[in-house]
Amino acid sequence: MSLDILTLREDTPGSDSVLHFNNAGTGLMPRPVLSAITDHLHLEATIGGYEAHYQSNHLYNDTYTAIETLIGAQPGEIALAENATRAWDQVFYGMKLKPGDRIIADQASYASSYLAMLQRVKNDGIVIDAIPNDEHGQVDVEALEKRISSRTRMICATHVPTNSGLVNPAGDIGQVARKHGIPYVLDACQSVGQVPVDVETIGCDFLSATGRKYLRGPRGTGFLYVRTASLDLVEPPFLDLHAAVWTKMNEYEMRPDASRFENWEGYVAGKIGLGRAVRYVLDLGPEQTFARIAMLASSLRDRLRAIPGVRVHDIGLVKGGIVTFSHQHKDSQTIKQALDREKMNVQLSFPEWSRLDAETRGLPVMIRASVHYYNTDEEIDRFCNGIEKICKS
């Protein structure tokens, strides 16, 4: 079954008012997601927040089921979070590490993750082993395996970086992690909703993701996957009366599943909206949506390369929907400002967002244009014509 792009665009209110190539920042919400959120907010305003949650508990619980289906997880392996960074932090800060323990990180590490690593270097005396990319620009899996030592305690990898079209070979990394029995944490912030993700195929122990990007869900939502067999490898860095039960005056018991990584208060309407967003992509089919995303991005790269002075910076054997580029004479900030005036949404990608990769490749501040399945060839034409006009002015 092919995607009905006209219907998908009619289902996307924002597609009438903007050309949205900033889906790696926030995807445009479809109407069913928007309705799920606003319906619950209206219910809260009408009958009360606690009461609304109780009445909508079936929708809230379906968010877990939908995510489990999307990524191939088992019941009890999903914790809902306010964003991907906090989900990732729960694992990273919960891992018991001693001075001299080593963690492996990839070149695509996002700033929020690497800053956490640097903090633990400073406070706990751990060592970061940053592995190189291979000739294609993706994680060098052979180099990763050679870097493993008796002190390696964790492998931290990025599925899809913030600053290029690359899709890293997450499953190959997982094979190495399983072979050596090392916990594997995957940052899937940019990949879930864009790339088909199956945690069994990948072999990760933990995975963090957000709702607002390619899932097209609301801001302030995300989730953490915790493999049941790996649950006791980490301890939540904080507990509350949701994550644990105060069993005796001086004793407590953590919940027996991934919900120990949650906290009690949260954005209920948003989490219901997240579940609806996951159901939306499941209904369309993740393989179909990714095929269209990759096709549109490939077309955009080709069109941009044909514009004099434009340099496309994407790397990797497999590429997704993120397209990064710069112009040899025109400042990226100036280009973005001109695009903003034409209601063409993009984002700037700064070197400090992914400094290992940026400094290794000598990347400038770039324009990041990220397409989704509801975008069109006509929008690519309009966008590239706009870039050409801006760069000539």
Is the Cα dihedral 280, 340, 349, 87 positive or negative?
negative
Residue 183 to residue 153: CA distance in whole angstroms: 7
Q: Is the pLDDT of residue 1 over 80?
A: no
Tell me: do 319 and 348 sit in the same domain: yes
Give the E-state strand segments of 264-313 in sequence order.
310-312
Separation between Cα atoms, residue 243 and residue 256, nearest integer Å = 9
Q: What is the pLDDT of residue 118?
A: 98
Buried b (16+ CB within 10 A) or exposed e, 52-71: bbeebeebbebbbebbbebb
Q: For residues 103 and 149, what is the distance between their CA atoms, to the nearest angstrom?
A: 10
Q: Are residues 15 and 98 in the same domain?
A: no
pLDDT of 107: 96
CATH number of the structural domain spanning residue 323 = 3.90.1150.10
| Nearest partner of 215 among 144, 271, 256, judged by Cα | 271
Is residue 99 domain-shared with residue 212, that is, in the same domain?
yes
Mean per-residue pLDDT over the chain, rounded: 97
pLDDT band of residue 38 (cuts 50, 70, 90) is very high
- Show which of 261, 283, 305 is a domain's final residue: 283
Distance, CA of 231 to CA of 252 (rounded, Å): 17
Helix, strand, coil fractions of the chain, as percent rounded to 5: 45, 20, 35
Residue-wise pLDDT tens digits, 347-380: 999 999 999 999 999 999 999 999 999 999 999 9
Q: Reduced to 3 states, what is the DSSP secondary structure of residue 249?
A: coil
- State CA 74 to chain mean position distance: 20
Average pLDDT over residues 309-322: 97
The pLDDT of residue 2 is: 87
Q: Which of 219, 218, 230 is nearest to 257 (CA)?
A: 230
Given 250, 268, 283, which residue is the final one in a domain? 283
How does strand 244-248 pair with strand 251-254?
Answer: antiparallel
- Are the C-beta atoms of 168 and 157 separated by less than 8 Å? yes
Q: Is 347 helix (H, G, I), strand (E, B) or coil?
A: strand
User: What are the distances in angstroms from CA 99 to CA 3, 45, 123?
Assistant: 52, 51, 9
Q: Computed from CA positions of residues 353, 177, 67, 288, in that sequence, does the dihedral angle turn out positive or negative?
A: positive
Residues 168 and 235 in one domain: yes
Q: Are residues 213 and 345 in the same domain?
A: no
Instruction: Kindly report the backbone phi and psi dihedral angles of residue 169, in degrees, each rounded to the nearest multiple of 5, phi listed first.
Output: -75, 75
pLDDT in tens, 197-247: 999 999 999 999 999 999 999 999 999 999 999 999 999 999 999 999 999
Domain end point (choices 253, 283, 313): 283
Helix (H) or strand (E) holding 324: strand 322-327
Residue with tokens 């801001």: 219
Give me the pLDDT at residue 162, please.
Answer: 94
Residues 202, 70 within the same domain: yes
**82-136 pLDDT, tens digit each:** 999 999 999 999 999 999 999 999 999 999 999 999 999 999 999 999 999 999 9
Check residue 166 and report its DSSP letter.
B
Same domain (yes/no): 344, 243: no
Alpha-carbon span 284 to 94, nearest angstrom: 36
pLDDT for res 393? 81
Task: Report which residue type is found at 224.
Answer: L
Q: What pLDDT is recorded for position 305? A: 97
pTM exceeding the 0.75 threshold for the entire prediction: yes
Q: How far apart are CA 126 and CA 296, in angstroms?
A: 42
Are residues 263 and 321 both part of a single domain?
no
Looking at the DSSP assignment, which residues form a beta bridge with residue 184? 155
The residue range of the domain holding 188 is 32-283
Question: Alpha-carbon distance 68 to 157, whole Å?
Answer: 21
CA 80 from chain center: how many Å?
Answer: 14
Number of domains in the chain: 2
114 and 14 fall within a common domain: no
Structural element, H or E, at residue 79: strand 78-81
List Cα–Cα distances, 272 to 34, 51, 67, 212, 267, in angstroms.
10, 15, 12, 13, 9
∠104-107-112 over CA atoms, to 5°?
Answer: 80
Q: In this predicted structure, what is the pLDDT of residue 365?
A: 97
Mean pLDDT calculated for residue range 272-301: 98
What is the CATH classification number for the domain harbouring 256?
A: 3.40.640.10
**Hey, what are 164's tokens?**
């290029």
Q: Are residues 274 and 189 in the same domain?
A: yes
318 shares a domain with 262: no
Q: Are residues 19 and 65 in the same domain?
A: no
